[in-house]
């Protein structure tokens, strides 16, 4: 057990994480006691009693704290409270099977004359297994910026927080590829939605085109049927009461329609005169009948 504690202490020394601090400002974690305050699931919650500080310090673990927890807490607490510009509101250590999680809620945290604590609503979270790392969020201008990396001391960590607060977009672009991937994914989703709309419009256009072709064909057939009915009406009308008269030839009907279409204001007499001048053998009565049926012209 003591061997593991020494390894944790040694890892901090190798990483250079024990910052120089004026001893008269540091709380004393050399002689601490624990008071159980509750349970969360299988974890027991203890308040850490120590002299020389106002921050609320607590630990969570399965079982009861022993020498391992005392020494581990001493190592981490001494490191955290050595940050010269940090005033901690609370520090919690959670002893898990896979490692130790440490959460620090700052009451004040200053870097480059900037107060950073308002941008750390959930505090700073560390995790120690083979080495100590941090992973937490900075909240600025509706951006939730992930800050993570291996812990080598407060300066690099605080510099990252400061840069994220100063220019969230720039920091995200440079340090948080997952955010950029998410943005790209949203663009792809948007493109996918647009593609879906385009495909639906294309399907609608294809349907409309088919309907147009069907209607056009039906319309042409209707015109053809109507033309046949008009010709039949002319033919029937020209037959006498005894059925002795012949129907008007289609060629004569077409010629009279052509003249009237070209000369829309021409009267029956004028159309008749032009037809006769072209050698057509047609009576004025037949011309009048054709113009009446096709052009409602009397």
Which one of 159, 175, 191 terminates a domain?
175
Shared-domain flag, residues 260 and 158:
no
Determine, yes or no, domain membership for 238. no
Q: Which two tokens stand for residue 78?
A: 């001494």
Q: How far apart are CA 228 and CA 222, in angstroms?
A: 10
Measured CA to CA, the distance from residue 169 to residue 174 in angstroms comes to 9
Number of domains forming the structure of the chain: 2
Residue where a domain stops, chosen among 129, 151, 175: 175
Higher pLDDT, 80 or 184: 80
Q: Are residues 140 and 35 in the same domain?
A: yes
* Residue 197 within a domain: no
240 falls within a domain? no
CA distance 279 to 252: 11
Exposed (0-12), middle (13-18) or buried (19+): which is 40, by Cβ within 10 Å?
A: exposed
Angle 47-49-51 from CA coordinates, rounded to 5°:
150
pLDDT over threshold 50, residue 128: yes
Average pLDDT over residues 135-158: 92
- Report whether 134 contacts 151 (CB < 8 A): yes
Contact 180, 173 (CB under 8 A): yes
Checking if the pLDDT of 241 tops 60, the result is: no
Supply the Cα-derived Rg of the chain in whole angstroms: 48
- CB within 8 A of 27, min separation 6: which ones? 50, 51, 52, 53, 55, 77, 81
What does the pLDDT read at residue 175?
75
Closest CA to 124 of 99, 97, 151, 143: 151
Structure confidence by residue, pLDDT tens digits, 26-47: 688 888 999 999 999 999 999 9
Final residue belonging to a domain, choices 142, 175, 208 = 175
To the nearest whole percent, how much of the chain has pLDDT over 90? 43
Task: Output the six-digit token pair for 51.
Answer: 């002299």
Q: What is the mean pLDDT of the chain?
A: 81
Q: Quick check: helix, strand or coil at residue 85?
A: coil
* Strand partners for 139: 144
Are residue 108 and residue 20 in the same domain, yes or no?
yes
- % of the chain residues with pLDDT over 70: 76
How much is the pLDDT for 22?
35
Q: Pick the residue with more confidence: 173 or 230? A: 173
DSSP assigned state of 97: T
Task: Flag whether pLDDT at 222 surpasses 60.
Answer: yes
Q: Is the pLDDT of residue 55 over 90?
A: yes
Q: Is residue 189 part of a domain?
A: no
Going 228 to 229 to 233 to 236, the CA torsion angle's sign is positive
Domain range for residue 155?
2-175
Average of per-residue pLDDT across 136-163: 93
pLDDT at 238 over 70: no
For residue 296, how many other CB atoms are within 10 A of its CB?
Answer: 7
In a domain, 165, yes or no: yes
How many angstroms separate the CA atoms of 115 and 106, rounded? 10
Of residues 8 and 55, more confidently modeled: 55
Where does the pLDDT of residue 116 fall: very low under 50, low under 70, confident under 90, or very high at 90 and above? Answer: very high
Shortest CA distance to 163 belongs to which of 143, 182, 180? 143
- Residues 264 and 160 both lie in one domain: no
For residue 23, tell me if it sits in a domain: yes
Kindly give the pairing relationship between strand 56-61 and strand 86-96: parallel
* Residue at 252 is within a domain: yes
pLDDT computed for residue 298 by the predictor: 56
Same-domain pairing of 130 and 26 = yes
Shared domain check, 59 and 151: yes
Burial class from Cβ neighbours inside 10 Å (0-12, 13-18, 19+) for residue 104 reads buried
* pLDDT at residue 160 greater than cutoff 90: yes
Tokens of 282: 């047609």
For residue 14, is pLDDT > 50? Answer: no
pLDDT beyond 70 at 295: yes
SS3 of 4, please? helix
pLDDT at 207 over 90: no
List C-alpha distances in Å: 165 to 1, 123, 208, 290: 41, 14, 55, 89
In a domain, 241, yes or no: no
The whole-number average pLDDT for the span 49-71 is: 92
- Which strand (E) or helix (H) includes residue 148? strand 143-150
Report which of residues 251 and 94 the model is more confident about.
Answer: 94
Q: Where are the alpha helices (DSSP H) in the chain?
A: 2-15, 67-80, 154-166, 168-175, 177-238, 250-262, 268-277, 284-295
pTM: 0.54
pLDDT of 48 higher than 50:
yes
């Amino acid at each position: 057990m003591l061997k593991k504690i020494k390894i944790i202490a040694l890892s901090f020394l190798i990483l250079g994480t024990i910052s120089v601090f004026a001893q008269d400002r540091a709380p004393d974690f050399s002689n601490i006691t624990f008071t159980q305050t509750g349970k969360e699931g299988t974890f027991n919650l203890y308040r850490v009693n120590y002299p020389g500080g106002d921050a609320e310090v607590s630990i969570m673990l399965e079982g009861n704290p022993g020498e391992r927890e005392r020494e581990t807490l001493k190592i981490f607490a001494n490191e955290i409270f050595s940050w010269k510009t940090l005033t901690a509101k609370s520090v919690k250590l959670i002893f898990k099977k896979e490692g130790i999680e440490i959460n620090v809620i700052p009451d004040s945290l200053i870097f480059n004359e900037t107060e950073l604590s308002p941008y750390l609503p959930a505090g700073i979270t560390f995790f120690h297994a083979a080495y100590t790392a941090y992973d937490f969020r900075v909240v600025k201008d509706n951006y939730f910026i992930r800050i993570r990396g291996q812990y080598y001391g407060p300066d690099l960590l605080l510099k990252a927080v400061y840069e994220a607060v100063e220019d969230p977009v720039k920091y995200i672009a440079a340090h948080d590829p997952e955010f950029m991937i998410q943005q790209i994914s949203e663009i792809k989703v948007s493109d996918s939605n647009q593609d879906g709309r385009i495909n639906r419009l294309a399907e609608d256009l294809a349907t409309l085109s088919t309907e147009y072709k069907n209607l056009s064909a039906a319309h042409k057939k209707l015109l053809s049927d109507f033309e046949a009915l008009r010709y039949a009406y002319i033919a029937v009308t020209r037959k006498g009461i005894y059925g002795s008269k012949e129907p008007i030839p289609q060629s004569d009907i077409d010629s009279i329609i052509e003249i009237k279409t070209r000369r829309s204001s021409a009267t029956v007499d004028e159309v008749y005169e032009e037809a006769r001048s072209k050698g057509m053998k047609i009576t004025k009565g037949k011309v009048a009948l054709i113009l009446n049926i096709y052009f409602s012209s009397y």
